Structure 1
Amino acid sequence: MSMKPAMPMPKLSTDKMTASIRRLRLARFHIMRGTKVAGGAACAYARPLGFGFSQRCAEAGSTRRNLLISQPRSDLYQPVMLMALKPQRALLALAGLYVLYLAGGLVLASQAVIDRVYFFPGYSIKRPMPDESGFSPDGPVVQNLSGGVALSRRIVPGNLGSVVRIDTLRSASDSLTCFVQETGLAFRFPRHAFPAAEPAEYPAPARMLVVSDIEGNFKGLQQLLQGAGVVDAQARWRFGAGHLVFVGDMFDRGLQVTECLWLLYKLEHEAAQAGGKVHFILGNHEVMNLTGHYKYLRRKYRHNADSLGLDYARWYAPDTELGRWLRSKNVVERIGPTLFVHGGLSPEVAALRLPLVQLNALTRRSLDASQHAAPRPAEQLVRNPKLSPDWYRGIAQEEAPAAHVAAVLRQYGATRMVIAHTPVEEITPLYNGQVVAIDLPHQEHTKQGFGQALWVEGGRFSVVDNLGRKQAL
C-alpha cells in the first residue's frame, strides 16, 4: 500500500519561528475572546502555520453580539454592550412592575377595597359597581304649572314600605319637604326666586368653602358642610357672608342626587338672606342629564320615574323647579382673583375671546338646542367633550403648556384657577400653584369616615376636613 507523503512543514528560521509563535498566541487569544476584527486577522496568521483553528476562526467570524452575550467580556466592546443591555433590562423590570401594579389594583378594586385604579396620570379605571338599587324614597320632583301653581311628586317612607305622594302647591310660599333616607334628615323649604342667568363675576368674600364631584353622596356632603361650619346639624345655613362654591358633578353614581340638589337650592336662599352666596358651577354630568345622556344613571331613578308616572327625562325639564334652577347656572365664574370651572378652559375655547358672560350664555343655550341641528363653530366647541369647559382635561393632566394657563388667567383677570372633573387622591396644586385640582374620591372617603374640601380665607388656600381641621395647601 502506498502512502502519500506528508506535507512538509515550512522551513522557518529561529527568529521567524519565534515571531510566528508570538503571532499565533496573539491570534489564539483574540479568537478565544471572540473579537471579530482581531479574530479575522488571527486566522490569517494561523492558517499558513497549519494549526487547526478552522472551527475557532468560523466562530470568530460569527456576529459580535452572539459572542459577546455568550462569553464574559473584558475587551473594548464590553462597556458599550453593557450600556445597551442595562436600559433594556430596566425597561423590562419596570414593565413587569407596572403589570403587577395593574393586576393587584384590579384585584383590590374587584374586592371593593379601593374605588379606582390609576393606569396613567389623570386616567383611571373605576371599579364597576353592581347596581342593586330600586324603588326607594326620593324627590320631590316639582313641575311648575301656570299662575304659580306647582305639582310635587315624591316617594316617602310608609308603614308598609315606600309610597308615592303627589301634592299641589298653590303658591310659592308653600313649603316643600325633602327626606334623606340614608341619614334620616328631613328639611323643609319654600320655592324662591332666582335670576334666569347668574352673574359670572363676584368680589372675593372673606371665606369660601369649595367642593366638587359629590355625585349624589348626601352623607359626605353634609359632613363636609357641617365640619367646615357652613351648616348646622339640621343643615341650616350658618356661614354668614361666606360663599359655598360647588364646582360641578352632583349627578350620577350616587343615590341621593335629588336630595343633594334640593339642599343646595335651599342653602342658596338661606345664604342670600344672611349676605352669603351659594355658587353652583355646571359639570359634565349636569350637562349630560340636562341633555338626555343617562349612561351613569342608577337603576333607582328609572324605577322611581316609573312609580311617579313621570319619565326621568322630564325630571329636569325647563318647566321643573330644579330644571329651571340648573339652567340659571354657569360653567365658569370668577370670584375675586380665582376662576372656577369644572373641566378647564382649552386653548380652542380661550381662542374665542368671549367674555365670561357670553361663554356662559353660549353653554346655557346649548342645553336645550336641538341635537340634530347643525351648531355654529362656537357651539360645537362648548358641546365637544374634549374641549368644552365642563369636559376638558388638558390642564388637570398638565398637557396644556404653562403659557396657555397664564394666558387664560390674564384674559379673565385672574391669578389662579380651581378645577375638578379629573380625579386626584388629594387636593393638588398644579402649574406652580396657578391651578388647584379638587376632584377627590368622596364616596370612598365617606366610607372610611373622613372628607376634605378646599378652604379659602384671606386669599390663602388650605385643606379642611370633615372635623373642621385646616392645613395650609
Structure 2
Amino acid sequence: MLKKILLGTLLLYVVYVLGGIGLIATGAIDKLYFLPGWSVKGPKSDKSGFAADGPLVFYQDSLLISSRIAPRGGSLVLLTDTLRPGAATLVTCFADETSQEFQVPLRSENQVPADTYAEPEKLLAVSDIEGNFKGFQALLRGAGVVNDKLNWQFGRGHLVLVGDFFDRGLNVTECLWLIYKLEQEAEQAGGKVHFILGNHERMNMTEHFKYVRRKYRVNADTLGVPYNQWYTRSTVLGRWLRTKNVVEKIGTTLFVHGGIGPEVVMQKLPLTKLNDLARISLDKPVAALTALEKQVTQPPSSPDWYRGLAQQEASAAHVAQLMQLYTASRVVIGHTPVEHISTLYDGKVVAIDLPHQEHTAAGRPVQALWLEKGQLTIIDSQGQKSPLK
C-alpha cells in the first residue's frame, strides 16, 4: 500500500514538473517551484507587472462592459463602466509610456475590408511594432499621419500596418485602440488604415501566449478576466481583429506579414479566397482544419509565417510566379528582422521588420517605408527621408 502511495506521489510530481516546464516554455508562468524555496525561472526574466491598461470592452447582451486600469491621484485604480452601444459611445485609453490619454468612439459593426485598392498619392507602411506605443506614435507624428492629439491628419493617404502589433512590448492594448480609432478618422477623411494580420495576432487569438509579457497576466488578475478571453468574439477588439486580411494589394504592391511561399502560390488562390480561409480558421481547432486551411494558416507555409523571401531561400522563379499570379510589381514584408529596410530580388521584395523597440529605448528614430507618387523611400519619426537601397 505504501509503495503504491509513493509511486502515485512520484507520478504526480513528475506530471507537475513536466507541466511546469511546459508553462515556462510558453511564457504562461515565470518560475516553477521544485521544492519549497527551490525554483527555476524562465529563460528571460520579465520584470513587468501591474500597470495602466485597457480598456477591455465586452459584449453582454445588449450592453457593453468596459474595464480598465487607469491612473488616478498618483495611483492606479480599476474603473468599470456599463455602456449602451451607439454613435456617441466613447472609451478612454491611457498610454503609460507617453502619459497620453485619448478617447475612442466605438462602432456598431465591423466590415470586412477589401483586399485590393488603387495606389494613393502617399502611403506609410510599418510592421512589427510589438506593443511599442512610444515609438509607434512618434513615427506617426513624424510622418505627418497624426497630430499631437493623435488625431488623423493624413488626408487621403494610406497607413499600412504589416502585422505583429502584439507581444514583447508593454502597450499592446493602447496600440490596438489607436489603430481602431484612426481607422474611423481615416475613412471620414477619404484615407485608409490597413491592418494586416501577422503571426502574433493569430497567436493571441488562438491561445498561444509564449511572448505575452508578465504585465498582461498580472493585469488580467486585477481586471478579473483571464488573458485568453481578451480577444475572443465576445470582445470589441476581438470581433474587429477577426475582420482583417492577411494579404492586401495596393496599386501593384502586395503587403503581407511573412510572405507567400511556393506551396501557397501553387494553389493559385484569389486574394479574397486566401483571406477568407485565414479568417475562418481563427476559431477552428487545428485538428479541424482542412489540408488547404492548414497550408494557408499554419507555419511554416502560411503568409503570416513564411520566411523564404526575407531569408532569400525562395528562387527568383518563385518570386516571378508570385508577381504574375497577383499582377504585382513588388511585395512588402515584415516578420523577419532586418537591420535596415532592404530591397531583395532586384527590388521585387522589400523587408521592413526593424528593431523598433531597441531604437526607441536607445532614443534613436523609428523608421518605416514611405511611398509617394510611386516612389519608395524611408522616413523616420523625425520626418527625415532617406533613399531606399
- TM-score bucket of the superposed structures, by smaller chain: 0.7 to 0.9
Q: Which amino acid in 1 is paired with 2:322? A: V
- Alpha-carbon distance in 1 for matches of 2:173, 2:360: 19
Match of 2:244 in 1: 329
- The reply on whether 1:344 has 2:259 as its aligned counterpart is yes
1:424 aligns with 2:350: no
CA displacement, residues 420-440 of structure 1 (integer Å, 9 cap, x when unaligned): 000000000000000100000
1:401 paired with 2:315, answer yes
Partner of 2:374: 459
Contact 2:338 2:354 in 1 (8 A): yes
Deviation at 1:352? Answer: 1.0
2:57–2:237 CA contact under 8 A, matched in 1: yes
Partner-residue secondary structure (3-state), 1:432: coil
Aligned-partner SS, 1:297:
coil
Counterparts in 2 of 1:199-278, with a 5 A limit? 199-278=114-193
* Deviation string, structure 1 residues 26-72 (Cα, Å, up to 9, x no partner): xxxxxxxxxxxxxxxxxxxxxxxxxxxxxxxxxxxxxxxxxxxxxxx
Q: RMSD across aligned C-alpha pairs, in angstroms?
A: 1.1
Shift of 1:284: 0.4
Alignment match, 2:349: 435
2:299 aligns with one of 385, 392, 408: 385
Distance 1:277 1:383 in 2: 26
The partner residue of 2:107 within 189, 192, 212 is 192
Matches within 5 A, 1:19-418: 129-147=44-62, 149-159=63-73, 161-172=75-86, 173-193=88-108, 195-373=110-288, 375-418=289-332
> Over alpha carbons, which structure has the higher Rg?
1
Change (3 A) 1:132 1:467: same
Per-residue deviation, 1:145: 2.6
Q: Given that residues 140 and 155 in structure 1 are in contact (C-alpha distance below 8 angstroms), is that contact kept between their aligned partners in structure 2?
A: yes
Question: Partners of 2:255 and 2:227 in 1: how far apart?
Answer: 29
What TM-score do you get using the length of structure 2 for normalisation? 0.87
1:382 offset after TM fit, Å?
2.0
Paired with 2:304 and 2:293, the residues of 1 have a C-alpha distance of 13
Distance in 1 of aligned mates of 2:137 and 2:111: 28
> Quick one: distance in 1 between partners of 2:370 and 2:190?
19
Deviation (angstroms), 1:170: 1.3
Q: Quick one: which amino acid aligns to residue 404 of structure 1? A: H
1:364-389 deviation line (CA, Å, top 9, x unaligned): 0110002342x211011023211000
Q: Which residue of 1 aligns with 2:25?
A: none
**Preserved CA contact (<8 Å) 1:196 1:327:** no
Question: What is the total number of aligned residue pairs between the two structures?
Answer: 344
- Structure 1 residue 194: Cα displacement: 5.1
- Cα shift at 1:299: 0.5
Bigger fraction of residues in helix: 1
Runs of 4+ in structure 1 off by over 6 angstroms are: none
User: Which piece of structure 1 moves more, 187-196 or 175-184?
Assistant: 187-196
Structure 1 length-normalised TM: 0.71
Shift of 1:193: 4.5
Determine the C-alpha separation between the residues in 1 that align with 2:376 and 2:77: 46
Cα deviation 1:241-268 (Å, max 9, x = unaligned): 0000000000000000000000000000
Is 2:286–2:294's contact at 8 Å kept on the other side of the alignment? no
Provide closer, same or farther for how the CA distance between residues 439 and 194 of structure 1 changes in structure 2, counting only shifts above 3 A: farther
1:231 counterpart SS class: coil
Letter in 1 for 2:383: G
Amino acid at match of 2:138: Q
SS in 1 for 2:194: strand
Task: State how far apart, in whole Å, the 1-side matches of 2:209 and 2:89 are.
Answer: 32
Q: Secondary structure at the match of 1:278?
A: strand
Deviations 1:119-150 (A, max 9, x none): xxxxxxxxx75311111110000012333x20
Code of the aligned partner of 1:341: V
Give the letter for the 2:309 counterpart.
I
> Which amino acid in the other structure matches residue 248 of structure 1?
G
| Equivalent AA in structure 1 for residue 348 of structure 2 | Q
The residue identity in structure 2 corresponding to 1:385 is: P
Q: What's the secondary structure of 1:446's corresponding residue?
A: helix
What's the secondary structure of 1:245's corresponding residue?
Answer: strand
1: distance between equivalents of 2:263 and 2:92?
Answer: 44
**What letter corresponds to residue 340 of structure 2 in structure 1?**
E
Structure 1 residue runs of 5 or longer lacking an equivalent are 1-127
Q: For residue 357 of structure 2, what is the amino acid of its counterpart?
A: Q
Deviations 1:412-469 (A, max 9, x none): 1111000000000000000000010000000011122211100000111000011111
The percent identity for this pair of structures is 58
SS of structure 1 residue aligned to 2:309: coil
Name the CA distance, whole Å, in 1 between partners of 2:345 and 2:120: 25
How far apart, in 2, do the equivalents of 1:356 and 1:454 lie? 23
SS in 2 for 1:303: helix
Q: Distance in 2 between matches of 1:308 and 1:359?
A: 36
User: Following the alignment from structure 1 to structure 2, what is the Cα–Cα distance between the partners of residues 461 and 244?
Assistant: 14
